[in-house]
Amino acid sequence: MKEDQKTKKTENKKRLDVFLKASCLVSRRSVANHMCEAGLVKLNGGTAKPAKEVKIGDVIELRRGNKEIVIRVLEIPDKQVSKKQARELYEIISEKLIENDLDL
């Protein structure tokens, strides 16, 4: 019975880098790791390390290029899913372009 309880607990959580890859928000897990280490990903408003656990209802902010995306986690996948199914794992709360501060 303890084993069943452990399995149920892990189904509702996943590492942040694994979730970003499974949800097709990043192309590779190594990219997710790099983004977290560079401070481009926040989890529930705080800094996010790649091993941080993601749960249903968590809010993830990520910055890719000149875009900032804020999503809410709706579902945690057991395994890798198709791109079509990946879109069902989260909802986009906001998406905005970030202006470049460089003067040319």
Would you say residue 91 has pLDDT above 70?
yes
pLDDT in tens, 8-51: 444 689 999 999 999 999 999 999 999 999 999 999 999 999 99
> Is pTM, for the whole model, over 0.85?
no
Let me know if residue 103 belongs to a domain. no
Q: Which residue has the higher pLDDT, 1 or 60?
A: 60
Domain of residue 37 covers 2-97
Let me know if residue 104 belongs to a domain. no
- For residues 91 and 71, is the Cβ–Cβ distance under 8 A? yes
| DSSP-assigned beta bridge partners for residue 73 | 90
Confidence band, pLDDT 50/70/90 cuts, at residue 52: very high
Total count of domains within the chain: 1
Would you say residue 84 has pLDDT above 70?
yes
pLDDT in tens, 57-82: 999 999 988 899 999 999 999 888 89
Would you say residue 4 has pLDDT above 60?
no
Rounded Cα distance between 6 and 16, Å, is 19
In this prediction, residue 103 carries a pLDDT of: 54
Angle ∠(62,64,66) on CA atoms, nearest 5: 115
Let me know if residue 13 belongs to a domain. yes
